[in-house]
Each structure stands twice: as structure tokens, then as C-alpha cells.
Structure 1
Amino acid sequence: MTETTTTPASAPTPEQLDAGRRAYELDRAHVFHSWSAQETLDPMTFVKAEGSHVWDADGRRYLDFSSQLVNTNIGHQHPTVVNAIVKQATELCTIAPQHANAARSEAARLIAELTPGDLNRVFFTNGGADANEHAIRMARLHTGRKKVLSAYRSYHGGTHLAINATGDPRRIPNDDGDSGVVHFFPAYPYRSYFHSDSPEQETQRALAHLEDMIVLEGAANIAALVLESIPGTAGIYVPPPGYIEGVRELTAKYGIVYIADEVMAGFGRAGKWFAVDHWGVTPDIITFAKGVNSGYVPLGGVAMSETIYQTFAQRPYPGGLTYSGHPLACAAAVGAITAMREESMVENAARLGEEVFGPELLAMAERHPSIGEVRGAGCFWAIELVKNRETKEPMAAYGGSSPEMNELIAALKSAGMLPFANFNRIHVVPPLNISDDDARRGLAIIDEALHLADAHVA
């Protein structure tokens, strides 16, 4: 399968390059960036994108192995989605969410076709963080309970409740301990919190720990458990066999709403429409965003079971957004889902994982002593870098970076790749329709650059 592009790849025009240089000046003068100390920044400026590539303000082309923030699942400027947005803009740019509109109705229908079980009702949000906020609110109102269980080494968004549900260091400066969120240790075989010797033992011990948490916190007080089906930014650590099924059984046993966070893993990223499909599990709620329309226009949502829906059938749901189900965003979702189906992108992601990324990353791990582990599925992989394989000392401390990682990231960019890096990991997360040649070229760039990391192995 080859990536879909609007026109043959060509360099940016002089006008685009001039606009890019002006954009940098204005950015530094006026824009406040997220997650950053403002005066330490030197942001890259991009002026053009197409398929699996982006161009900077100097006219240099990069292979986008990051899918930006792991959201451009269908690549850049896909004509089906661009045309859907343009067509919608000529007919109905916006309408208040209390009114029905064709784009939102069709997007909801398509999403309901893809979700497992009876998750056939969709509440649209503007992104993944507010999807998780509303999912938790629904669970609390549905159960009449307050507490929420969430895993360490997770990410659920940057809004107040979502960041408190998050289990990575970005939560800490925002956590006053009053959100009602209780964190538990996830199943993570490579860095097991339970000193497990096998995936089976990790599943058994992690589930025992989770049940202990439920009992000790008081099951009658717990509204929801929110869990990334395959954690994304936190490390793409695929749950061991039986874990997700066990989580579903425990939540059902104790009457806890199971919220599957599929914001990053959903819409084909892990080689299934939703990552929970790998285990045949149906949660009570799925939250989504990113890949639903590849981020062409901001969109997220909550897909809920009939049981959750019935709570609000005659009782008003106390929540909403001005741009819930925005016509342009929903038209983009219809276009993206249509393109993914017509071009078999989800199947292609599964094939790439099985035939290209999995085998070549495993071979790379044999060559490079700096690789502690590779793991993933579909177009969703992580390379965990260590200074010592025996001790598993990370190449960068948890919650930070390091000179060694900065050197590696700089080398990848210099070789013409836009990487996704977090702490001591490089994530392999290109568009689902990347060509095999570009996928292998990206892996070759990483393979060459890893010699720099190998030099720091004890």
C-alpha cells in the first residue's frame, strides 16, 4: 500500500518559505506554548505537509515518524478529508449543538458502527481531555459515586480533572489531592512493580493489586476506572495476556464504570479500529479523539453503552460545549473514516506491525545494546533505551530528558526525520498509510542514529 497524496511531492514555494520565517518571528513575539518554559524555546516552523512528510521554513523535508502528536493517522492533506471540509464549509460552517446537522449525525453513525458491543450513543467534544472529563462526569452521575481509579504511567489530558487522572509527572504540579482520583500500579512487564518473572505472573499480580485497591478504597465509593487500552505517551506498553479481560471482570464485579481511553490507541493506530478489540472486551465507555479525523479539525468524543445512556434518557445531562459536534470537525471525521475503510488503512497498520515494524525493531534490538525493549502493535511502537540492560537504567530519568537523548533526537532530525520522543524512549508512530519504503527508511534512520546511544551503554 502506498500513501495517498494530493499531488507529487514538491518543495515549498518561495512565498511559503517567506511566510514561514514571518510565522517564526510572530510566534516568538506573541505565542504562549504548552508544557514549556517560554524563553527556552526554539520551535521548528513548518510550511507544508503532504502524506508522510512535512517541510520546514528552510525548505527541508522530514519524514513524519511522529504523526505529530500521534494523531495524523491518515497522513497529511488527505484529499478525501480536505474535500469533505471544503464541501461542508460551503454548506454549513457551524451550527449550535442543540440542533441536528448531517455531518454530526453521519459521524455518530459511523463511529457507532465501529465501537464494540452496544456503545451506540456518541457525545462529541473538542478533544481527548474533555472527552475524559465528560466520561468521568457521566460515570459519577450514573453511579452516584465520587472516586475514580486511574493507572500510574498514563496520560488522560491537560484539563483539570483529566490531568489529575493522568499518572505521569505532568500531573504533579497540578495535583492538590482533591480530585477524587486514586492511582494504581498498571501491568507493565518490562518494569514490573510486582517483581514478576513472566507476563502471566504480571497479569495475576497486577489484577490482585487492583482488586486490593478497590476493596481498600471502598468499592461502593468508586464511580469509574479509566485506563488507556494501550498507554501511549507513557510508553506504549502493551498489556500482558488476560489483563484487560481481568480489568473488565473486576469493574463488572464491583459495579464500576469501565472507561477505555482510546484517544491515542483508537481509530486504527494499534492495528484494530479500537485497541480493546485485541482482547474482545466491551467497556462501558470509550473516549476518543486524535485519529477519528486525524486532527484536521479538533474533535473528540464519548461513546457510551445503552445503560449509561438510559441514565440521561429522562434526566438532563449537566454538561455541554459550544462546539460539540462542530460540522467541520464531524465532516472531517466522516471523510477520515471513509478513507480509512476504502483504503484498508487499519488492515495496513496491522500488516506493517506484523511484517515491518515488529520484525525490524526486534532485529534492531539484537544489534543495539542501548535497546532495553521494543514493544507495540500496528503503527504504535516504542523503543525503550537504557544505559545498562541488566539494571534497566533508563537513558533518561523518568519525567525528564538527558544529554544522551537530546543527542539522539538531534541526529534523527538531522537525518531528515521528525521523531516522537518521551523520556528515555523513541516512539515509532507514523501514519497508518505510510509506504513500506518510507517505513523502512525511517527505521534505517533510527538504526543508524542508535550507534550514538550505544556509546553510552555501560
Structure 2
Amino acid sequence: MTPHPVPETGAAVKAADRAHVFHSWSAQELIDPLAVAGAQGSYFWDYDGNRYLDFTSGLVYTNIGYQHPKVVAAIQEQAARMTTFAPAFAVEARSEAARLIAERTPGDLDRIFFTNGGADAVEHAVRMARLHTGRPKVLSAYRSYHGGTQQAVNLTGDPRRWPSDSGTAGVVHFWAPYLYRSRFYAETEEQECARALEHLETTIAFEGPATVAAIVLETIPGTAGIMVPPSGYLAGVRALCDTYGIVFVLDEVMAGFGRTGEWFAADLFDVVPDLMTFAKGVNSGYVPLGGVAISPAVAETFARRPYPGGLTYSGHPLACAAAVATIRAMDEEGVVAHAARLGAEVVGPALRELAGRHPSVGEVRGTGMFWAVELVRDRETREPLVPYNASGEAAAPTAAFAAAAKAHGVWPFVNMNRTHVVPPCNITEPELKEGLAALDAALTAADEYTV
């Protein structure tokens, strides 16, 4: 559905936004937000009648697309019954959401602490780990993103951390595996895995194992580049945590709930962490919700000792009702298997074929509906299409690519020198092929900047 153009309404929406809305991660006078009139399924549209296929899933959270009727109906029904209630009580929507999530988490992560989103889920996971171990430090990877709150942004390993990094958050960063841009001079996945694990163990040794509470990793890093870890890496981290009594935290905020073709990316690697954070896809972002899935060992720490943390809206009934409906809809409609099949049979082959024809494509990687296309200026040297953390004129090549994609009806996810292919997990095969064809055309703009 695309409504008739109403540009005057769009102008009013834009004017109010520019007068009063303070946007995240932005220089306020340098942005020009699109006024969105509506969204349905895998598409959204503006007030001028332009429709876009959303290859971003919002911020990689609309795993079942926009306005899914089963989830909208569940929110309406819950609002009619009980719009909100304090978190200290047992509420049906909250209990059922926790049960359904626990059924799908790996291993014995059967206790669910609800938060308002992914960043505060990470905050609470770190707090739980420190209290459980009595240790102060947390290790996390460069090329990562864990959220915008104070602890979560200090865990983050990309430039969004820099303005808020006081150097006193008890966080130590290390290099995780990424063969295409290896920090370990590796030539094979096996070398990259072994050398990354050796580097991590050395970091633990030099920091002092008895001071390290937790290692926090995105199971598959999201905005940092969708670097699927090599076989054996996460199992190796699990083993190091067991050896040194460290809590293993996997951040599945972006990778969870079908995005990778499994309920959780941890299932791809047969690894069970001690704590796992989630948000986004748990209810497709229809009402803000996140949480921490907790192992029995960590939960036991707080069996008779109060956990010193909570949120006013923890397990909000509207959010939990949306989660229940989302999980049930994903089951009924086979969304997880659908994402796995399209990733293996459509996206992967198509992107590899594009890589063979476009000199601006250095590497493609991913799984399910979770893919990255690495854009380069020179395939031989692997020089990025734009410099690290580029902005302004330096970012012109990726800006040209993004503009070309939009002109072909696809809204792309662009971060630094990459575009990510992250459409809704229930996108249809014809829609997906439409979007991939648009990316093919848009890459021609990026090719203009190659050597």
C-alpha cells in the first residue's frame, strides 16, 4: 500500500521535527530526516509518494516487517485488558513472554530479566557478572557495538565510544577474529581462530585473570561489519571463561530472533553463554523491550541476595504481548527457516555474483538475513572505499552509493565502508530479488571511485 501524495502534510511533519526533535548520533543542523508517512511489510513510503524497500529493517529490528497484523492485534488486545502494571507482580503477558523466550534460548538460560532495550540489557548483564564474580574488569572486542548508555558505550569498540570514554569504566578491549582485515597476519580461518584465541588468553593473563568478571561479545558483530566468527572461536572463548572463572556474555541484541537463520546465532556455533542479552527482534521493535537470559549459576547468586537493579517498565505488558505474538507468528509462519533458506539460496549466491562483477566489492559475508558487503577502493590492497569513521567529503563514495540505491527504490544500511543486507526475515523471495537488483545498479556508483 502506498497512499496518495500529501506533500503539505510531509512538510508540516518535517518542520515540527526540525523545530523540536533532537536526533541521536547526529549534528542537528546537518541532517535532513525523511518524513515517513507509513509502512507495511518490507516497505515504507514518504509523503511525496516515494516507496522504499527497507533493506535496514529499521535498525535491524523489524524481523517480521512493519505492521504485522497478528502483533498489532495482540497489542490492541493487551491495551484493552491491561495497558501497564508494575514489574513486581506476575502478569500473564510477562510470564508467557519469558516462557517462550526461555524455550528458545540455548542450553539452560531459562531465567529472563526484562529491560527496556538492548543497551540496558548489556548494562545489567555486566552488573550481574561483576556481582557474581566479585571482580571489576570486563573484556570486549574492538569492532563491536553494545549500546549507547554509559557502560554499554564503553564496551563498544567503534568510534561511537570515543566522546564518552573516560578510561575508567573497567573495560579492556581486544581484537576478535576478522580474516579479511586480520590483526594476526593470518592467511586461513584456522590461523585466524587460533591466533585470536591466543591473543585473548594473553590479554587475560596480562590483565590478571582474578580481576576479569566477564568477556562480552556480539555472537556475530552487527553494525561493526557482520563478521561471522571462524569455526571453533566461540567454543574457545567458552573454554577460556571456564578455565579462569569468567562470565561469558553473548550480545544477541541484533543477531537474535531469526536474523541469522536460527533463533539465536549461538545455535550456529553450539555454544551456551552464562548470560545472553536480547532486544530488537524479540517483538520486531513494535514496543521497546530487551532482556537478559540468565544461567542457573548466575541466577543462584541472587536466590537469597537481592539483585540491586531494576526498571520501572521491566516486562511492560504491551511490549511482552508484542513479544508473545511475534514469537508465535514466527513459529506459525516458519520465519526462521525462511530466513535461513533465503540467505543460503538467494542472498549469498547473489552477493557473490555481484562481487565478481563490481570492482568496489571486496568481500561479502553473512548468514540468514544478516549480510555485509565490504566496499573497497582497491581490491588488491583492500583499501576501504572511505577512510575509517569518514564524514563529509571523505564519505562521498558511500554517500553516492546510498543515493543511487534510494533512487532505485531501496533504503540501504550503510556504515563506514560497508553496506549491510538486513531486510525483514519474512521478506518474500521476489521482494528480495528486487532489492538485490537495485543494489546491483547502485554499486555502479561505488565502482566510479575504485582504482
TM-score of the superposed pair, with normalisation by structure 2: 0.98
Q: Distance in 1 between matches of 2:9 and 2:318?
A: 26
The amino acid across from 2:383 in the alignment is E
The code of the aligned residue for 2:441 comes to E
- Whether 2:16 is the aligned partner of 1:12: answer no
Q: Which ranges of structure 1 fall in alignment gaps of 5 or more residues? A: 1-9
C-alpha separation in 1, matches of 2:216 and 2:12: 43
1:150 counterpart residue number: 140
In 1, Cα distance between equivalents of 2:446 and 2:32: 24
Residue from 405, 414, 419 that aligns with 1:421: 414
Q: Secondary structure at the match of 2:238?
A: helix
Equivalent residue in structure 1 for 2:29, among 39, 44, 58: 39
Is 2:281 the counterpart of 1:291?
A: yes
Maintained 8 Å contact 2:5/2:47: no
2:56 match: 66
Q: CA deviation at 1:14?
A: 5.9
- SS of 2:234's equivalent in the other structure is helix
Aligned residues with identical type, % of pairs: 63
Please, which of 215, 227, 243 is the counterpart of residue 217 of structure 2?
227
1:88 counterpart = 2:78 = yes
Q: Shift of residue 456 of structure 1?
A: 1.4
1:391-446 deviation line (CA, Å, top 9, x unaligned): 11101111224111111101111111111110000000000110101101101001
Q: Write out the 4+ residue segments of structure 1 that deviate beyond 4 Å after TM superposition.
A: none
- CA offset at residue 47 of structure 1? 1.1
Deviations 1:33-56 (A, max 9, x none): 000000111101111100000011
Give SS of 1:363's match. helix
Instruction: Tell me the amino acid that sits aligned with residue 39 of structure 1.
Output: E
Cross-structure match for 2:357: 367
State how far apart, in whole Å, the 1-side matches of 2:8 and 2:280 are. Answer: 30
1:398 to 388, 391, 416: 388
Instruction: Show CA shifts across 1:161-192 (max 9, x none).
Output: 00000000110111010000000001001100
Shift of 1:20: 3.3
Q: What's the counterpart of residue 423 of structure 2?
A: 430
Q: Partners of 1:395 and 1:182 in 2: how far apart? A: 29
User: Distance between the aligned counterparts of 2:319 and 2:200, measured in 1?
Assistant: 38
Separation of aligned partners in 2, 1:364 and 1:447: 7
Q: How much does 1:13 deviate?
A: 4.8
Residues 275-314 of structure 1: pairs in structure 2 closer than 5 A: 275-314=265-304
Q: 1:221-266, CA deviations, whole angstroms, 9 ceiling, x for partnerless residues?
A: 0000000000000000100111111111111111100000000000
Give aligned pairs, total: 448
1:260 is matched with 250
Following TM superposition, by how much is the alpha carbon of 1:390 offset from its aligned partner in structure 2, in angstroms? 1.2
Q: Say yes or no: does 1:187 pair with 2:177.
A: yes
Q: Does 1:455 align with 2:448?
A: yes
Partner of 1:7: none
Pick the aligned partner of 2:164 from 166, 174, 187. 174
Residue in 1 aligned with 2:13?
Answer: 23
1:100 aligns with 2:90: yes
Residue aligning to 1:6: none
* Residue 47 of structure 2: aligned partner: 57
User: CA offsets, 1:348-378, max 9 Å, x none?
Assistant: 0000110000111011101111110000000
SS of corresponding position for 1:426: strand
CA contact (8 A) 2:286 2:322 kept: yes
Shift of 1:19: 4.0
Root mean square deviation, CA, Å: 0.9
For 1:368 and 1:348, locate their aligned partners in 2 and report how far apart those are by CA, in whole Å.
28
Contact 2:238 2:273 in 1 (8 A): yes
